[in-house]
Structure 1
């Protein structure tokens, strides 16, 4: 049995010396039968588990494509900032874009209770749908509450700015009225990337409108999964959306708004009416001004803006 598995591995074993196969028990039963033995698939399944220690496992997505040289230093800096803002009762928000969703009668993973059958298209051709929806999240780290906006068009810095403004108007200002600063945790790429000037301009406008200082701390490159919003909001929203066919943007709103956890997560969902266009650039006034102040230490990831 061991010999057959070693010659039928599903590609290269993850670790030298480990057994790994994608062959079914029925296939292995036929191979052994050709060698002159009769062993049922059920027996092979038991032997694989009990004798060879082979369990059924999926591959884990936990190998980083790369590593930032200042990774540890930036995580230490983020931890310091979070302690500082927490002690002063100032807001700490984590922001990011969730996976885009196609609108239409498309199949989605998950099950639901129904007295009949749910029928969807047999192919996921974008042309058969009504476009895509961009879910953008603003997660309040301190209160375990979030606002998710649903937008059409492109994922841009303007969408980020509108989402943060809406979170403040609907949730933030009631909890943090009188706060002098706000800490924003974001990935290093995407519409809220550390090099996106349109995102920087939106932050400056928000700071000017609210009259508070915004401090931004970006997670190091290749570390987006450590952003609090990913493992404290998006994973739970994904569970709420399983099995739901997105015939309309309202269906996404209704399903996502039901997201809750035993630890008290609260999620509000809003639909943005604006269509966000690709290619919008920061204004000349902002580009020629001095509105973003980068820190002396790790300036790529850390900066502030004051209106």
Structure 2
């Protein structure tokens, strides 16, 4: 059914709904659906928020009228009759619903529905978890009342994607499945956004006594003594566990691989005692970028120390949000510390380590105060010692680093 028809029905209903009683509303809806023909009932239901049962009842009554039946016996509630509107019984319901569907929440990891479609069923479940029991049909009615409608994306922004972007996604997925079937570890790695340490404002809100918000600095000028931290994470895609090293120096490739090494020593080798291979999925840039020589040299050292054959798959440029660690671990860390000033290193480590989900996510966090200087140059001779074999498909993104027997 044409979206123009649905919008037309919605506009008419918004203008007439206050003039209708219960019976007149369903009869009008029945007439409109009949006029639209095939798919008319669904279109009118979406546009008005009325249930399909109500429209079917109206169609039945219209059939009685055409056949000469008497409709005066149809019951119409007296003014004020029936149950109280749900918005009257739950005054905060509408504002909570608006927060869930507010367009500005799109793309925010803290949004409860960041990684699900905002269907009426999902919205209903999210509201129930917030203490507002409501069915999906009533959600539909409220959305229509608020002026929302189902809308598709509109192509207005031009951009460029790598021609093999989707093919690389499929390749990574195939590699992950193959490693998991062989009971070999699969990890997703990335660096989280740098954070200021000190009594600075942190996005989000936290329950506090009324009129007593936590006071923080007005300006976000870095504290020279406390500085910043660089959280780097390792997410185990099979066990739903993670490790985060909270670095106090630079976010370099050496720091990234050191975090992987600590995860393996303290968590990985215990969980995968028979492991011979390790699959790493990572972004295409940053401290684990596919062009970085230091990243490959550091991985060679790690492979030599652990006797693991390391297979790396990078996501294409501009697709970092598809990396599992982003929405399976980092987003929940942001939720856990929202509204809390990160006043010291201990607070940051404890907040990260206390993050968990209903699906069993567990994270270990540790402070890393080692120095990781920037600007280290890797010579061609040093790079040539890396026992690297490129995959046939996009070898720049997909490659294996095996232990170097000569080391």
TM-score by length of 1: 0.77
Does the 8 Å contact 1:68/1:222 carry over to 2? no
2:201 aligned with 1:107:
yes
Aligned equivalent of 1:137: 233
Which sections of structure 1, spanning at least 5 residues, go unmatched? 1-48
- Choose between structure 1 and 2: higher strand proportion: 1
Aligned equivalent of 2:253: 157
Aligned equivalent of 1:191: 287
Counterpart secondary structure, 2:268: helix
Does the 8 Å contact 2:312/2:398 carry over to 1? yes
Aligned equivalent of 2:167: 73
Aligned equivalent of 1:97: 191
* Alpha-carbon distance between aligned partners in 2 of 1:52 and 1:244, rounded to the nearest angstrom: 33
2:356 aligned with 1:260:
yes
Counterpart secondary structure, 1:159: helix
Give the drift of 1:152.
1.3
Does the 8 Å contact 1:152/1:276 carry over to 2? no
The number of residue pairs the alignment matches comes to 256
Equivalent of residue 343 in structure 2, options 247, 260, 267: 247
2:307 aligned with 1:211:
yes
Aligned equivalent of 1:12: none
Give the drift of 1:64.
8.6
Aligned equivalent of 2:217: 121
Aligned equivalent of 1:237: 333
Counterpart secondary structure, 1:73: helix
Q: Per-residue displacement from partner, 1:2-43 (whole Å, max 9, x unpaired)?
A: xxxxxxxxxxxxxxxxxxxxxxxxxxxxxxxxxxxxxxxxxx
2:390 aligned with 1:300:
no
Aligned equivalent of 2:323: 227
* Alpha-carbon distance between aligned partners in 2 of 1:212 and 1:225, rounded to the nearest angstrom: 27
* Alpha-carbon distance between aligned partners in 1 of 2:224 and 2:207, rounded to the nearest angstrom: 26
Give the drift of 1:114.
3.9
Aligned equivalent of 1:286: 382
Query: In structure 2, do the counterparts of structure 1 residues 171 and 51 end up closer, same or farther at CA, with 3 Å as the change threshold?
Result: closer
Does the 8 Å contact 1:103/1:249 carry over to 2? yes
2:277 aligned with 1:181:
yes
Counterpart secondary structure, 1:146: strand
Counterpart secondary structure, 1:134: strand
Query: In structure 2, do the counterparts of structure 1 residues 147 and 283 end up closer, same or farther at CA, with 3 Å as the change threshold?
Result: farther
Aligned equivalent of 1:273: 369
TM-score by length of 2: 0.59
Give the drift of 1:285.
4.5
* Alpha-carbon distance between aligned partners in 2 of 1:103 and 1:65, rounded to the nearest angstrom: 36
Give the drift of 1:178.
2.0
Does the 8 Å contact 1:104/1:128 carry over to 2? no
* Alpha-carbon distance between aligned partners in 1 of 2:256 and 2:398, rounded to the nearest angstrom: 18
Which sections of structure 2, spanning at least 5 residues, go unmatched? 1-142
Structure showing greater radius of gyration is: 2
- Choose between structure 1 and 2: higher helix proportion: 2
Give the drift of 1:54.
5.5
* Alpha-carbon distance between aligned partners in 1 of 2:348 and 2:184, rounded to the nearest angstrom: 31
Name the Cα RMSD after superposition: 2.5
Give the drift of 1:221.
1.3
